[in-house]
Chain A
Amino acid sequence: MSSDMKKDIEQLRIADLHAFYGESHILHGIDMKVNRGELVTLLGRNGSGRSTTLKSIMNMVGKRTGSIMVNGNETVGMPAHQIPHLGVGFCPEERGIFASLNVEENLMLPPTVRSGGMTLDEIYEMFPNLYERRMSPGTRLSGGEQQMLAMARILRTGANLLLLDEITEGLAPVIVQTLGEVLLKLKDKGLTIVLVEQNFRFAAPLADRHYLMEHGSIVEEIASNELEEKMDLLNTYLGV
């Protein structure tokens, strides 16, 4: 684990990334890097390109150009199903729980991509609700439970780079708090996390750095210790 904790290993490096859906040009030259063990957020208004950035990493957009290095491997031009095997776990905004699979089948669906993932027992210990409802159809769970399931699903695979899209959206404060605790535990384990988040007050105390996006570009990079002085700028961009 000790080598995983090193903060100077580049887990993700994106250079001059452009992404397109059909004719529309969504991302205009993104540059960012995330080191191993860091928790980095993508902040911005709706439609600023944060989710598209995550989907581009997974090759889920129409077309992408530029460079996306994951754990030292170039992934532009790689088929979508090979990217997770580099150690990437993706939690989509709509959660993506499969209705025709029960909770346990949902959990066991993604193949193991690296060793060192959580076991089923550890996951049920972290999310006891999922154990109680393991035989229910995935979409019968409450919104919060579905979010736990969507997170737990990628923790089992051993992925060490987690891409989490709006995981607190529409959830009750007490569940948001639980998710915050989960993220801290994952950070302690040395996992690298890229978090797309609308809820700035949730993200601020957890993150090491923030990227601020606007119109498909990164307009500002803010380290967590600069947060105070750049609050005005942030308010302008986020419109809070």
Chain B
Amino acid sequence: MAELLGFPPQVLFGQLLIGLINGSFYALLSLGLAIIFGLLNIINFAHGAQYMLGAFVAWLGLKFLGVNYWVSLILAPVVVAAIGIAIEKTMLRRLYKEDHLYGLLLTFGLALIIEGSFIHFFGVSGQPFSAPELLQGGNNLGFMFLPTYRAWIIVASLIICFGTWYMIERTKLGAYLRAGTENPQLLQAFGINVPLLITLTYGYGVALAAFAGVLAAPIYSVSPVMGSNLLIVVFAVVVIGGMGSIFGAIVTGLLMGLIEGLTKVFYPEASTTVIFLVMIIVLLIRPAGLFGKEA
């Protein structure tokens, strides 16, 4: 087999595929964070815990109630969104007028409590969760082997990300969301129920995290710490893309996954730090992020 840039194509494409899959998760998670930050002004540190909850709801549903993967893919985000909505209505709502720091501390505390209780009951070792039969196996594309489930992750997250982007940028509901992000008081003065819009937006952002959690369950093991491991990188992605930019969150998520994958091929030692290096460079050159608006 011919070599590509000095590496066997299987290695190069294999790592690019892994990068794209990680990027899909970065995109889904940073999209949810961006939407929540835009309207609520809350840096949702519970996002990783909510991603983990999505995976656990799917796992518990399968284990105890026999709920299959496809149902969980819808049901788990709904369940976790309901929990998120309860959190918003009882706690977050009181903090909108305060500094960002209060929301950050509250959601960070919640994340610790949720993760702590799950570690107490389930331990830190992962629980196995197998992909549905339809998505098992894979195809040999000639230059690489493509497992079906991994292809599904990329397709599903692209559909959800660009569907969300379309909803926000091209529909009436999205116009309310954009207007509410800019000037909630005036939107309210036009007769829109802004508190309800805020609640639903938080619910949707949380549902995105839970959806990513269910997608991740079959390839990463279902563990209470799966979210906190990922969240730090996702925050770096959000900072690189520009806080609050919807399009920026999606594109940067995918891009950072790919960069990470490429680094694994060319200089594996830096693969876990490369995103943070990019973050530092972006912050130095464009403090508002690649897609952010200068304040």
- Known A60-B185, A96-B183, A96-B186: A101·B191 in contact at CB below 8 Å: no
Query: Interface digits, B151-195 against A, CB 8 Å rule (1 contact, 0 not)?
Result: 000000000000000000000100110110111011111111110
Q: Which of A23-31, A81-89, A119-127, A194-202 contacts B (4 or more CB under 8 A)?
A: A81-89
- Residues of B contacting A: mostly: helix
Please report the C-alpha to C-alpha distance between residue A100 and residue B176 in the assembled complex, in whole angstroms: 11
Task: Check: A98 CB closer than 8 A to any chain B CB.
Answer: yes
Contact partner, A58, options B178, B189, B192, Cβ 8 Å: B189
Q: A96-B183, A98-B182, A100-B181 are in contact. Are A85 and B191 (CB under 8 A)?
A: yes
**In this assembly, does A110 line the interface, its C-beta being within 8 Å of a C-beta of chain B?**
yes
* B170 to A, closest residue via Cβ: A105
Contact flags B266-280 to A (C-beta < 8 A → 1, else 0): 000000000000000
Residues in B with CB closer than 8 Å to A84 are: 189-191
B197 to A, closest residue via Cβ = A81
Q: Which of B181, B190, B194 contacts A109 (CB 8 A)?
A: B190
Q: Which of B172, B179, B182, B188 contacts A80 (CB 8 A)?
A: B188
- Contact of A110 with B182 at beta-carbon distance under 8 Å, contacts A101-B175, A105-B175 already known: no
> Does B189 contact A90, Cβ atoms closer than 8 Å?
yes
Chain B interface residue number, banded:
10 to 19
Given contacts A98-B182, A99-B182, A100-B182, A108 and B175 within 8 Å (CB-CB):
yes
Taken together as a complex, chains A and B put the C-alpha atoms of A60 and B185 apart, in Å, by: 7
Which residues of A42-100 have CB atoms within 8 Å of chain B's CB atoms?
Answer: 58, 60, 79-85, 90, 92, 96, 98-100
Question: Are B179 and A101 in contact, CB atoms less than 8 angstroms apart?
Answer: yes
Find out whether the CB atom of B176 lies under 8 angstroms from the CB atom of A109: yes
A128 at the interface (CB under 8 A from B): no
Set B182, B186, B191, B194: member contacting A111, Cβ < 8 A: B191
Task: Check if A98 sits within 8 Å of B192, measured CB to CB.
Answer: no
Bound-state CA distance A32–B241 (Å) is 52
The docked-state distance in angstroms from the alpha carbon of A113 to that of B189 is 12
One digit per residue, 1 when the CB lies within 8 angstroms of any chain A CB and 0 when it does not, for chain B 240-270 equals 0000000000000000000000000000000
A110 lies within 8 A of B190 (CB): yes
Chain A residues with Cβ below 8 Å from B194 are 81
Whether the pair B183, A110 counts as a contact (CB closer than 8 A) is: no
Docked complex Cα distance between A84 and B189 (Å): 6
Q: A81-B194, A84-B191 known; A100 and B178 CB under 8 Å?
A: yes
Binding site for A on B (CB under 8 A): 172, 175-176, 178-179, 181-183, 185-194
- 17 residue pairs A–B, Cβ–Cβ below 8 Å: A58-B189, A60-B189, A80-B185, A80-B188, A81-B191, A81-B192, A82-B191, A92-B186, A96-B183, A100-B181, A108-B172, A108-B175, A110-B190, A110-B191, A111-B192, A153-B190, A157-B191
Other CB < 8 Å A-B pairs besides A79-B193, A153-B190, 16 of them? A58-B189, A80-B185, A80-B188, A81-B188, A81-B191, A81-B193, A82-B191, A84-B189, A84-B190, A90-B189, A96-B186, A98-B179, A109-B176, A109-B190, A111-B190, A113-B191
